[in-house]
Structures are given as C-alpha cells and as structure tokens.
Amino acid sequence: MRIEVVVPATADGERLDRFLATVPDVRTRSQAKHLIDAGLVRVDGVARKSSHLVRAGARLAVDVPAPEPLAIEPEPVPLRVLYEDAHVVAIDKPPGMVVHPAPGARRGTLVNALLHRLGKLAGVGDAVRPGIVHRLDRDTSGVLLVARTPAALEALARQFRERTIGKVYLAVVYGTLPGASGTVDRPIGRHPRERKRMSVHGVRRRAAITRWTVVERLPGATVVRLAPETGRTHQLRVHLAAIGHPIVGDRVYGARRAGRGAAAIRFARQALHAAEIRFAHPDTGTRTIVRAPLPGDMQELLVSLRQAGARTRKSPHSA
C-alpha cells in the first residue's frame, strides 16, 4: 500500500522518522525507522535517512508492506451473552479482554471466544475482526455489539457512521464535578509526541462531544453517566482528563492529573463501563436496547467509597 503525504507547515524542520510516526498506518517511530531503513520512504522522490529534516510542502511517498495475516484459532473462553439472535449478538465484555487479535495479544481475545461459540464468521468484516462493529478498550468493561451476517455488519456500521446508535457509560472520576451536568466539546487527535495516546491538543483533531450527568458524589470522587455523541479513540478518557477529572485507575490519562487525595483511591483499571447501547435492529428496524450490569470490581469500588464517606460523617473531628 502506498501512502502519499504533504508535510504541513507545523512539521517544518522535524526529523523524518518523528514526522512519519504521526502518519496514519505508521503506528510507531520504530516502525517509521524500519520503513526508512528499508528504502520504502522517499522525500520528493529521494530516499532519505531517519535524521533528515523535512520541510513544509515536501511530498512523502511511503510503501507500507501488507501485514502478515493472523491465523485466528477458536478458543473456549467464557462469554456472557446479553442478547442474541440470527443477526446480532451483544456481549458483556469483561475488563482485561482485548477485542481482536493484534501483535502482543494473539490469544484469549473476544474474537477467539466468538469463533468458538458462533463458529465461522467468514465474510462478516475482515479476517482479523470478523463481526466487530465497534470496540472497547482492553480495561473497559460492558456491552459490545457483534454482527453475525454481512448485512447486519453494514447496517450497524451505517448507524455508527450516522451517529444514530446511542451509548451510555458509567465512570468513577477523581474529584467533584461542578454542577449536575455538562458537555465537553473539544476535538481530539493523536498526541503530538506519544503515538499511543490521544489529546485535545493533538494533531489532525476531529470533532468530539461528550455529555455528562452526575449520578452520585463520593469522597474524592464522582460517579458520572456519560453519553458520547461521537466515537473518537479514548474519547471519554481524554475528555474527562481534559476537564481535570480523569477516570479513577486510568494509568494513561489519569493518575498524574488527578490532584491531591487521588492516591487514596486505588483501582486496578480505568473505572469505565459501557452500561447501555441503543440501536435499530439490522433486520427488523425495531429499536433495541441492551444493558450490561455494573461489574463486580466497580461495585466493590463504590461500596468502599461509600463506606469511607460514612466513616467521615461519623468522625467527631469531621467539619
């Protein structure tokens, strides 16, 4: 696959390998260096070294080799099914499970488990992500839709594109959110230096909107209901961190920005749960709602925070 890119003014004078790592389909700086060293990158028709400083307006041609196909084997991994028929299945994804195979996570994924439970999903999307219409981060729990037929995949994908699918998340965030509800309307793009992170100050930002409503206030934390109107990568995590209330347990966007007292709230993952999804059934058009109960670890977190609040209220030294 050939990628052609014109260097923008904002990247003038940047190292070739650093700039190339920001280009879609080139995931890391090490991959960028590998492509450059292999002679697969040309700047204005000339092969250059990684240290070459690109100039605004220069044209890059990058030949990205096709990835080696992954052999995905069915695995008897337990799945909790929330809804199922001949066209679609909704899974309650546990925290810690990767949705589809990728380098470093080739086994034990949701796709491996689906192939064991449903059999072949040939023709329903690509070979690595058969039936997958949307994703949840590895440590995010909750409801995830999977198409069982090509027609269902297209119908659901269209609803996601047109933003007619409704999603509701529950999260526990650090601190006390001001007011009862609000909206975060801040575009999101790839972090300018850290390829695996997203940022409201990132490059090639795209519109991103998240509506939030307070569910419960707890000591040092707030339980919020989140309704994203867009589906950007890490959107909820990035938006909450951007307003100063990162999600409890979020090691990428959270701990260092959580403020004083955050260390007292310990949680092994980001406290984020996909609680509900609403969609038009791909065969009948009927409005369908699927809900996933709050997982045990988040229930335990809430119990501990409520107990801490009760102890504080009973303390004779409390204000």
Q: CA–CA distance from 95 to each of 2, 50, 205 (Å)?
A: 37, 39, 28
d(CA 222, CA 177): 7
Residues identified as active-site: 137
Spatial neighbors of 259 by CB under 8 A, at least 6 apart, are 174, 175, 244
CB of 271 within 8 A of CB of 226?
no
Q: How far apart are the first and last CA of the chain?
A: 65
Q: Residues 58-87, buried b or exposed e (16+ Cβ, 10 A)? A: bebebebeeeeeeebeeeebebeebbeeeb
